[in-house]
Amino acid sequence: MTSLNHVLVATDLSTSARNAAERAAQLSKAQHASLDLLYVANPAPFERLKQVVAPDEDLLKRALETAKEKIHDLAGMLFQRYDIASGTQVAPGSVVTEITRVVQDKRIDLLVCGAKGQSLARRLLLGSTVQRMLSRMLCPLLVVKHAPRDAYRTLLVPVDFSPASLRSIELAKSVAPQAEIILLHVFEAPFEGSMRFAHIDQDTLNHYRNVIRKDAVEKLAALSQAAGLADARQIVVHGDPSWRIAEKEQELDCDLIVVGKQGENALEELLIGSVTKHVLNESQCDVLVSL
C-alpha cells in the first residue's frame, strides 16, 4: 500500500483553504506524516497596484509580512486542534511554479488545496490554479470542498481498467484505510450512436449493451481481486462517465471521490478538460486526483 510521508497544503489563507489545511492535518496525523503550509504571492498584481495608488510603498513586502503572521496563526490552530506541528513557508513568485518547485524539492506525497464553495467560483478556480496544477502535477492532488468533521467514511473510485485504476485504488486505501471503498465503472457502448442512427432495433441494442456490461463486470471483479478488495461493492452502469460519477457520489452519500488524472487512450489535456474536470466542478464531496 502506498504510504503518505509528507503532505503539503497550498493555501491562499481563505476560509476554503483553512478547510483544506484542517483536512490535511487530519490525514497527516493519522498517517504520521510531515505537514507543511505554503503561501505564494504573485508579485505582478502588487506591482500594478503600487504604480496606481502607492508608488513609494513596497506592497508586496507588506503582503508577505501579513501572510507570515496569518500562516503562523494557522499552524498554531492546527497544533491546538490536531496536535500536529506544521512547517510554514511564504514566498513570492508564480503560484503554480512555486508550488511545483516545493513539491519536487520536498518530495511531497500529497498536495492539498481548497475549492470555493459556490459553483461559479469553483469553476473559476478549477479553470486556473487547480487546472494548471493538474497539468503539471508530480503527486496526487486533494481538492477539499467542505470543513472536515470525521475521517473519510465512504470513497467512490471510478475505474476504467487502465494502469491508473489500480494506482487510484491503492491511493484510496492509503488515504482512508478504514473507509468503505466503492468501485465504479461507467461504460459507453462503442458505436451505439451509429447503431441508433442506423435504426437498429432496441432488442439488438440491449443485447449489445449487455455483452459489454458482462465483460465490464468480469473485469471489475478481477481488478477488485488484484487490489485486495474482493469484497468491495462493485457497480457497473451505462452512460456518460462525467455525469454518472457525480450522480453516484450523491446517491451513495460518498465523502471522497478518488479519480485518475488520465485514462486509457486519452490525451492528458483532453481528459483533464472533460471527465476529471467535470467531477471536480460538479461533485459535492472532496476529490482526490491520482497520478
Tens-place pLDDT, residues 14-41: 888 999 999 999 999 999 999 999 999 8
CATH of domain 150-291: 3.40.50.620
CA distance 236 to 220: 8
**Taking 60 as the threshold, does the pLDDT of residue 267 lie above it?**
no
CA distance 197 to 194: 5
**Taking 80 as the threshold, does the pLDDT of residue 150 lie above it?**
yes
Grid cell for residue 237: 452502469
Grid cell for residue 224: 477488485
DSSP state for residue 64 in the 8-state scheme: H
Tell me which CATH homologous superfamily contains domain 1-148.
HUPs (3.40.50.620)
Across-strand partners of 6? Answer: 34
The total number of residues written for the chain in this structure: 291
Report residue 129 CA to chain centroid gap. Answer: 13
Across-strand partners of 38? Answer: 10, 89
Q: Are 218 and 117 in contact (CB under 8 A)?
A: no
More confident residue, 247 or 206: 247
Largest CA distance in the chain: 77
Compute the Cα dihedral for 29, 30, 31, 36 and give only its sign. Answer: negative
Grid cell for residue 109: 506525497
Confidence of residue 139 (pLDDT cuts 50, 70, 90): very high
Confidence of residue 116 (pLDDT cuts 50, 70, 90): low
Any residues with CB less than 8 A from the CB of 106 and at least 6 apart, and which?
6, 8, 36
Task: Kindly compute the dihedral angle of the four CA atoms of residues 266, 269, 273, 278, in this order, to the nearest 10 degrees.
Answer: 60
Query: What pTM, to 2 d.p., does this model score?
Result: 0.87
CA distance 220 to 225: 9
Look at residue 210 in the predicted model and tell me its pLDDT.
86
CA distance 278 to 123: 9
Confidence of residue 115 (pLDDT cuts 50, 70, 90): confident
Residue limits of CATH 3.40.50.620 in the chain: 1-148, 150-291
Residue located via cell numbers 502506498: 2
